[in-house]
Amino acid sequence: MTMADIIVRQETAADVRAIDVVNLSAFEGEAEAILVTALRQSEHYIPELSLVAEIDNRIVGHILLSRAYLGRPGGEMDVLALAPMAVVPSQSHRGIGSALVRAAITKAASLGHKAIVVVGHPEFYARFGLEKASKWDIRCLLPVPEESVQAIELAKGALSGGGTLRYPALLTEFFRQTVQ
């Protein structure tokens, strides 16, 4: 398999079950599959930013960016929360996850979004330009380790001044239940 064989594209209604299978196979429980279903039905969902990776017409990975909010003195700014992302175990370590993150960043920027935040492994996300959110004085009230909260500006200076991240209730609940 070469990178050229991976197609990354927006999800369609026909992909919903396959995306469930990707999440159920990549994670230990059902929480991520349930989260994706709930976000898809919510006001925070952005159809253009639910992307699948396909090899030979099979869905092997999925990434979802949905709306979150950065509270600051002048009011709230929309940002994007990256969660979850998954690659089927049999296809991991082949660059599919990286292709999904890169495509999501490019698409989000082209749609005019200002910034992305993610709770995850810094060793994985640093390669895409994500940095510790604390660098911008961004506070996150989720019960997660501070170094796991990372961000990237899609518009220069968008995060300067920092603020307090507010995740939609269903994402907050997800992190409460899944992150120790």
Ligand X SMILES: CC(C)(COP(=O)(O)OP(=O)(O)OC[C@H]1O[C@@H](n2cnc3c(N)ncnc32)[C@H](O)[C@@H]1OP(=O)(O)O)[C@@H](O)C(=O)NCCC(=O)NCCS
* Candidates 5-13, 65-73, 94-102, 133-141; binding stretch for ligand X (CB under 6 A): 94-102
Structure tokens at 21: 């299978």
Distance of alpha carbon 2 from alpha carbon 99, whole angstroms: 12
Distances (CA, A) of 71 to 74, 96, 119: 8, 33, 18
Residue 97 makes contact with ligand X by CB under 6 A: yes
Structure tokens at 97: 């996850």
Residue recorded with tokens 């409460």: 176
* Candidates 67-75, 118-126, 131-139, 158-166; binding stretch for ligand X (CB under 6 A): 118-126
Structure tokens at 2: 């070469």
Residue 92 makes contact with ligand X by CB under 6 A: yes
Question: Residue 56 has what DSSP assignment?
Answer: T
Tell me the pairing of strands 131-132 and 138-140: unpaired
Residue recorded with tokens 């990178």: 3
Residue 148 makes contact with ligand X by CB under 6 A: no
Considering beta carbons, is residue 56 or 157 the nearer one to ligand X? 56
* Candidates 43-51, 72-80, 84-92, 148-156; binding stretch for ligand X (CB under 6 A): 84-92
- One of 5, 29, 58, 121 touching ligand X (CB under 6 A): 121
The count of residues interacting with ligand X (CB under 6 A) is 18
Residue 140 makes contact with ligand X by CB under 6 A: no
Residues that bind ligand X (CB under 6 A): 26-27, 83-87, 92-98, 120-121, 123-124
